[in-house]
Structure 1
Amino acid sequence: MTSTAFETAASNPIAYLDRIAATDLGRSYKGRMLDELDIRPGQTALDLGCGPGTDLTSLAQAVTATGTVIGVDHDQATVDAARERTADQHTVTVQLGDIHDLPLPNHTADRARTDRVLQHVADPARALREIHRVLRPGGRLVMGEPDWDTLTVDHPDSDLSRAYTQYVTDKVVRNSRIGRQLPRLATEAGFTVPSVIPITPVFRDAQAADKILGLERTTQRAMAAGYLTEEAAGRWLGHLSTGPFLAAVTFYIAVAES
């Protein structure tokens, strides 16, 4: 069971992150997160789970030459990429580190961001306690996370849509419902949460959605895990690749203050 309409091989992680950042959706939500950070010149800003440094330059521009930007990531390859991309920016440093045990002193930073990071970590509550520790009193954290339980993909057989989303929430993403949990977890970590901003992108083009959702790859895995039969998977992909397409998922931006 395969479809020629969708990608069958995953991009490498750095290429995937770059791809999302270059989309209209990526530029839009990242811009909103930057606005909510409300960075002032001279401040210290953290990008936790910075990946290949996609957002470090925009943070550096916001803190200006008098500020500091620190990127932290657990993966050496992405740290190396981020360091290479920001080598000419003297206000930016990138460190290898674990968000559960940040290599930073108490009350280091004025601002911090996490972008689609907490959905993957082992212990989001512990990570948020660490972020609270390194932020100065009155500091601000802005988090952006999808809630994969809200994923909707239209199909004439709604049972197939439910099975597909159930597989994503059960097996694909470690903390698949983290979007809705952000206010509670942040509050329990010692933050106040003055605002939560829902963003619900709607995809009308199957190929564009596939570049973010990996429709065929995920369907193949769902079939192997017993969430879809081979016949059902064929009907599912057949309609997605040929019929009118609509998919949506809610992405939450939560603003937290220390």
Structure 2
Amino acid sequence: MTPKVFETVTPRPSAYLDRLAASDLGRFYKGRMLDALDVRPGQTVVDLGCGPGTDLDALAEAATSTGTVIGVDHDRAAVDAARERTAGRGTVAVHLGDLHGLPLADRTADRARTDRVLQHVADPALVLRETHRVLRPGGRLVMGEPDWDTLAIDHPDSDLSRSYTRYVTDEVVRNARIGRQLPRLAAEAGFQVPTVIPVTPVFRDVRAADEVLGLERTTRRALAAGYLTDEAARRWLAHLADGPFLAAVTFYIVVADS
């Protein structure tokens, strides 16, 4: 293992989300999502799984002082952080709640978004039905989710790359293939899906990739789960640290209209 290259301590969730948002990748895809959401002044916007409130300020700016932004998250610490972050914004409210049963009345929102949330929930289809319920006719949902089955990391031994990706899709992420499934799930929930935007970041710097992917931490877990042997894990990380590096994964931005 090579701790000089890889981040060995798991960052706090709020720190990880803020760090990703501040990266070139985060600014790019979040900008694309905000453009697709097309928030108008005076509208009510719901951030589903808002976390520590990373995106609430940008949504509030788009809705202006005449609009309302509602954040919903199931994690008490995240809700507290989001409330503290937006304490100076009277147009923002943050609720503790389950996305499978939103604490919102029918047809009360104009816009909604999810950002890398549906990959973790127990029932993405139910969350989409709930979102459709709270959106007004003519409303819009914009979702951004990775498809971890597309994760490709170059290595001279392609079997190691396949084993690593298989571990991520089988064991690490609950709904690992959600990116490709979103258009179908949204249509089944009653939405029209006019636009699907694929975004495929390519990482050439191992440190930048590690900040997003947690390469060593995930490798250790794959080793413990039997997807890699000790010798394979050593060879895998040694090449990632020292050899020319390339990794890519496809992220889907899906626009769904109610």
Question: What's 1:141 paired with?
Answer: 141
| Paired residues of 2:2 and 2:241 also in contact (CA < 8 A) | no
Answering whether residue 243 of structure 2 is matched by residue 236 of structure 1, we say: no
Question: What's 1:101 paired with?
Answer: 101
| Paired residues of 1:3 and 1:238 also in contact (CA < 8 A) | no
CA RMSD of aligned residues (A): 0.6
Question: What's 2:78 paired with?
Answer: 78
What TM-score comes out, normalization by structure 1 length?
A: 0.99
Structure 1 runs (4+) deviating above 6 angstroms are: none
TM-fit CA distance, 1:79: 0.4
Task: Tell me the amino acid that sits aligned with residue 61 of structure 2.
Answer: Q
TM-fit CA distance, 1:3: 4.1
Q: Any residues of structure 2 matched to 1:84-123 within 5 Å, and which?
A: 84-123=84-123
Could you report, residue by residue, the CA deviation over 1:41-81 in whole angstroms, capped at 9, with x for unpaired residues? 00000000000101001110111111000000000000000
The unaligned stretches of length 5 or more in structure 2 are none
Query: Aligned partners of 1:8 and 1:170: how far apart in 2?
Result: 22
Query: Aligned partners of 1:77 and 1:127: how far apart in 2?
Result: 21
Answering whether residue 172 of structure 2 is matched by residue 172 of structure 1, we say: yes
Identity of aligned residues (%): 78
Task: Tell me the amino acid that sits aligned with residue 35 of structure 1.
Answer: D
**What SS is found at the alignment partner of 1:167?**
helix
Query: Aligned partners of 1:24 and 1:96: how far apart in 2?
Result: 30
Task: Tell me the amino acid that sits aligned with residue 168 of structure 1.
Answer: V
Query: Aligned partners of 1:64 and 1:6: how far apart in 2?
Result: 41
**What SS is found at the alignment partner of 2:101?**
coil
**What SS is found at the alignment partner of 2:99?**
coil
What TM-score comes out, normalization by structure 2 length?
A: 0.99
Q: Any residues of structure 2 matched to 1:1-258 within 5 Å, and which?
A: 1-258=1-258
**What SS is found at the alignment partner of 1:100?**
helix
**What SS is found at the alignment partner of 1:228?**
coil
Query: Aligned partners of 2:5 and 2:230: how far apart in 1?
Result: 17
**What SS is found at the alignment partner of 1:198?**
strand
Could you report, residue by residue, the CA deviation over 1:97-125 in whole angstroms, capped at 9, with x for unpaired residues? 00000000000100000000000000000
Query: Aligned partners of 1:2 and 1:40: how far apart in 2?
Result: 49
